[in-house]
Amino acid sequence: MGKTLAYKLLENHLVSGEMTPGEEITIKIDQTLTQDSTGTMVYLQLEAMDIDKVQTELSVAYVDHNTLQTGFENADDHEFIKSVARRHGVLFSKPGNGICHQLHLENFGIPGKTLLGSDSHTPTGGGIGMIAIGAGGLDVAMAMARGTYSLTMPEVYNVKLTGKLRPWVSAKDVILYVLQQLSVKGGVGRIMEYTGDGVANLSVPDRATITNMGAELGATTSVFPSDENTKAFMEAMGRGADFVPLAADADAVYDGVLEVDLSTLEPLAAKPHSPDNVDSVANIGAIKVDQVAIGSCTNSSYADLMKVAEILKGRKVAPDVSLVISPGSSRILTKLATNGALADLIQAGARVIENACGPCIGMGQSPRSGGVSLRTFNRNFKGRSGTKDADIYLVSPETAAYSAIQGVLATGMGKEDLQPVPAAELTPNDNFIVYPEGTNTENTPVQMGPNIKPFPLNVALGEELKGRVAIHAGDNITTDDIMPSDSRLLPYRSNVPHLSDYSFETIDTGFPARCREYQSNVIVGGENYGQGSSREHAALVPLYLGVRFVMAKSFARIHRSNLINSGIVPMVFVDPSDYDTIELGDTMVIENALEQIQGQEEIVVKNITKNKEYVMKPELSDLEKEMIRYGGKINTLKAKQ
């Protein structure tokens, strides 16, 4: 029986465990990346582990999220990260260099290697045949300290591509189509592996757009083969020597398949407020647009921005539209500046902003109240733009640029020609990277600004776990709901006490006060609880607010791990209809908690208020049970030292 590419790459890195879906495996991690909004926590945790040099082949600390610097907080965080990076042999990418995932593809990614990143869109690296996985900060800190990562062996799901995209249809439409078919939980417990004749018709930036948004499917990661297009990309980045050809066996067997004929796809859009709420641009119709935002780790490549420049050249952004463009990297912006495309963008009326995440994470450029914003980004969760009542649509760069001119949602398909963008070499720019060179780097003093507060720690599991239901939430609750992020809050990513006042702000402003009143708390959620980002603040803030366990219909992968790393028990309803019988304020208790959680597959949670009993499954591996027992990962490490 032939092997899938994902299986081969994992097998090459296997340290322990059986490679059967659902079993826990430990793999060697070759590279790690962090970004600044999760990075401060990662490096605080790394410091707590008391190591000298990192154990990976390469670790990079990027600064791309918190670049507004409206006060001292962000700049202090940057200094902190830079000092710890130097101390432990980590490369530091200065703010302004670009977005971590784009930069990693350009500068450091290598086909066949493993990459663990403290950001959910780390699977962008799957575009060049890496096994690139997003994880919580503590897992990334551990990977730096030990060079390994443990995960549940996923199934490998095949997306088989045939045909060729038509002009005005792009990689973004491919992944929006997959999301429409499979939904935001369609990838949970899976690696999405792309194969078929159609693969050869997609460039690396196209593939990276698709693997990037595999995060929105909830997938563990996504991967493309490494082929002639990969070679061309690596050469254009000045790294031809790093190319390695990789593919699945011809007779590889998959756990499921979705066939996509690229030549039949049309321009699509994800409507508010979920990336899988997809319809065609034609069906949605010519809705009036207030803002168009082009960029993010999904669609800020050189090819994307050149398509945008071609569409805008010699034309004018509609009077009622604000068009904002954030290039993915310093290399890309340099190329646009030297070939004249930047002038075309500005001349048309575009606002070109810093090479960073920017509006994608609500760091500036919030749309007007009740406004409509078309974005080439990957998430359109309610409130994420910084404007609670704005309607965000996710679209391709082609659709975004054409709509910016028309002032309404529109595609140029069938109306205008659009030429493919020829590949171009992007001159390397090392001047934004600080290398940890020299002797005695381990003596570099750690720079801690006053905004950096210690992270909360749980306590060992007691005989009884008891708490009151502080929120009864619905399906697909995002980490943006649990711990919102925007220009007000992102500067406080190293200050959990401050963040705690805003938890669940978008859906229930009473949550923090209720938690403080009850003191010991329970969260109840629906399907896919904790989807979205890797931010462990969505676990650390509830921990700080006294949350002891979470009862849900199902969990998203990274958030579930973050809860366990914090010593909070995630549990799944055996009978999902139990969910409906629970109300806010109910008192829940797990008797003999230690014995039940450590020993049994199914445990009983008593609802004392309603006099009911619920059978729940914690579904914990042996390592996870240990973490719950000691009260989280850090406490486990300490206990076992």
**Footprint on residues 373-402 left by ligand MIC (CB under 6 A):** none
From residue 535 to residue 574, what is the string marking binding to ligand SF4 with x (rule CB under 6 A)?
A: ----------------------------------------
**Buried residues in 392-424 as b, exposed as e (16+ CB within 10 A):** bbbbbbbbbbbbbbbbbbbbbbeeeebeebebe
From residue 52 to residue 71, what is the string marking binding to ligand MIC with x (rule CB under 6 A)?
A: -------------x------
Which of the listed partners (ligand SF4, ligand MIC, none) does 296 bind, with a CB threshold of 5 to 8 Å by partner kind? ligand SF4
Distance of CA 152 to the CA centre of its chain: 18
Among candidate residues 262, 279, 277, 280, the one with its CA nearest the CA of residue 183: 277
From residue 108 to residue 147, what is the string marking binding to ligand SF4 with x (rule CB under 6 A)?
A: -----------x-x--------------------------
Rounded CA-CA distance 632/641 in Å is 15
Which of the listed partners (ligand MIC, ligand SF4, none) does 563 bind, with a CB threshold of 5 to 8 Å by partner kind? none
In the numeric block, which tokens belong to residue 513? 């006060």
Q: How far is the CB of 372 from ligand SF4 (least distance, A)?
A: 20
Helix (H, G, I), strand (E, B) or coil at 40: helix
How many residues make contact with ligand SF4 (CB under 6 A)?
11
In the numeric block, which tokens belong to residue 479? 């980490």
In the numeric block, which tokens belong to residue 426? 């992007």
Tell me if 120 contacts ligand MIC by CB under 6 A: yes
Torsion of CA 310, 315, 316, 317, to 10 degrees: -30
Residue 503 contacts residue 511 (beta carbons within 8 Å): yes
Which H or E run contains 36? helix 36-48
Candidate residues 116, 182, 292, 360; the one interacting with ligand SF4 per rule CB under 6 A:
360
Which of the listed partners (ligand SF4, ligand MIC, none) does 505 bind, with a CB threshold of 5 to 8 Å by partner kind? none
Residue 64 contacts residue 35 (beta carbons within 8 Å): yes
Find the part of the chain contacting ligand SF4 (CB under 6 A) among 251-259, 353-361, 465-473, 574-582: 353-361
**Footprint on residues 197-236 left by ligand MIC (CB under 6 A):** none
For ligand SF4, the closer of residues 82 and 535 by Cβ is 535
Report CA-CA distances (Å) from 462 to 435, 592, 597: 46, 8, 11
Residue 376 contacts residue 398 (beta carbons within 8 Å): no
Q: How far is the CB of 171 from ligand MIC (least distance, A)?
A: 18
DSSP letters, 86-127, are HHHT-EEEPTTSB-HHHHHHHHT--TT-EEEESSTTGGGGGG
**Footprint on residues 287-306 left by ligand SF4 (CB under 6 A):** 296-297
For ligand SF4, the closer of residues 15 and 68 by Cβ is 68
Tell me if 465 contacts ligand SF4 by CB under 6 A: no
Candidate residues 87, 101, 121, 472; the one interacting with ligand MIC per rule CB under 6 A:
121
Residue type at 434 in one-letter notation = V
Tell me if 8 contacts ligand MIC by CB under 6 A: no
Candidate residues 375, 535, 557, 560; the one interacting with ligand MIC per rule CB under 6 A:
535
Beta strand segments in 507-568, E: 521-524, 547-552
From residue 348 to residue 367, what is the string marking binding to ligand MIC with x (rule CB under 6 A)?
A: -------------x------
SS3 content of the chain, % helix, strand, coil (to 5): 35, 20, 45
Tell me if 124 contacts ligand MIC by CB under 6 A: no
* CB burial of residue 320 (10 Å; 0-12, 13-18, 19+): exposed
Rounded CA-CA distance 520/183 in Å is 34
Q: How far is the CB of 12 from ligand SF4 (least distance, A)?
A: 27
Rounded CA-CA distance 561/496 in Å is 19
Q: How far is the CB of 486 from ligand MIC (least distance, A)?
A: 10
Rounded CA-CA distance 351/373 in Å is 15
Q: How far is the CB of 232 from ligand MIC (least distance, A)?
A: 29
**Footprint on residues 18-47 left by ligand MIC (CB under 6 A):** 37-38
Tell me if 361 contacts ligand SF4 by CB under 6 A: yes
Torsion of CA 276, 299, 309, 393, to 10 degrees: 20
For ligand SF4, the closer of residues 156 and 217 by Cβ is 217
Q: How many other C-beta atoms are found inside a 10 Å radius of the C-beta of residue 254?
A: 19
Candidate residues 373, 399, 534, 566; the one interacting with ligand MIC per rule CB under 6 A:
534
For ligand MIC, the closer of residues 362 and 436 by Cβ is 362
For ligand MIC, the closer of residues 512 and 532 by Cβ is 532
Residue 176 contacts residue 575 (beta carbons within 8 Å): no
Which residues are CB-neighbours of 589 under 8 A, at least 6 positions away? Answer: 464, 465, 466, 605, 606, 608
Residue 352 contacts residue 372 (beta carbons within 8 Å): no
Q: How far is the CB of 358 from ligand SF4 (least distance, A)?
A: 8
Q: How far is the CB of 385 from ligand MIC (least distance, A)?
A: 12
Report CA-CA distances (Å) from 415 to 209, 348, 401, 574: 25, 20, 14, 54
Q: How far is the CB of 507 from ligand MIC (least distance, A)?
A: 17
Backbone phi, then psi, for 154, in 5-degree steps? -80, 165
Find the part of the chain contacting ligand SF4 (CB under 6 A) among 55-63, 83-91, 356-364, 495-503: 356-364
Q: How far is the CB of 532 from ligand MIC (least distance, A)?
A: 6
Tell me if 394 contacts ligand SF4 by CB under 6 A: no
Tell me if 119 contacts ligand MIC by CB under 6 A: yes
Find the part of the chain contacting ligand MIC (CB under 6 A) among 8-16, 114-122, 320-328, 335-343: 114-122
From residue 48 to residue 67, what is the string marking binding to ligand SF4 with x (rule CB under 6 A)?
A: -----------------x--
Backbone phi, then psi, for 317, in 5-degree steps? -65, 135
Q: How far is the CB of 557 from ligand SF4 (least distance, A)?
A: 17
Which of the listed partners (ligand SF4, ligand MIC, none) does 88 bind, with a CB threshold of 5 to 8 Å by partner kind? none
Report CA-CA distances (Å) from 201 to 166, 197, 206, 289, 419: 11, 8, 9, 32, 15
Find the part of the chain contacting ligand SF4 (CB under 6 A) among 188-196, 202-210, 357-365, 564-572: 357-365
Q: How far is the CB of 115 from ligand MIC (least distance, A)?
A: 14
Binding site for ligand SF4 (CB under 6 A): 65, 99, 119, 121, 296-297, 357, 360-361, 377-378
Binding site for ligand MIC (CB under 6 A): 37-38, 65, 119-121, 361, 485, 532-535
